[in-house]
Amino acid sequence: MAARLTAEHDLLVLFATTADNKIILTHNGTQAVACGTFFKENLGSFQGKGGGSNQSAQAAFPSREDLLNFFEMAQRQFVQG
């Protein structure tokens, strides 16, 4: 779904699933966000593991709480950005 959204629109997409405690951040290259760098700089504070490229990154978390805390932090970062 994220790939389809970014293929059709110039969006920064942040999706999370509590079923697997995973998250993805992606865009089609039109955004100034370096997804992999953002994850690398912030995942450790939330016990997340993952990585990616400038355009797409994904991560997994040991708990739902860690995932949701990271999601909320990322959402604040990009909405207020």
Q: What integer is the mean pLDDT of 49-72?
A: 97
- Residues 54-64, mean pLDDT to the nearest whole number: 97
- pTM comes to 0.89
List, edge to edge, every strand of the sheet that includes 22-26.
13-17, 22-26, 56-60, 49-52
Q: How many CB atoms lie within 10 A of CB 52?
A: 19
Tokens linked to 26: 């992606």
81 confidence band (pLDDT: 50, 70, 90): low
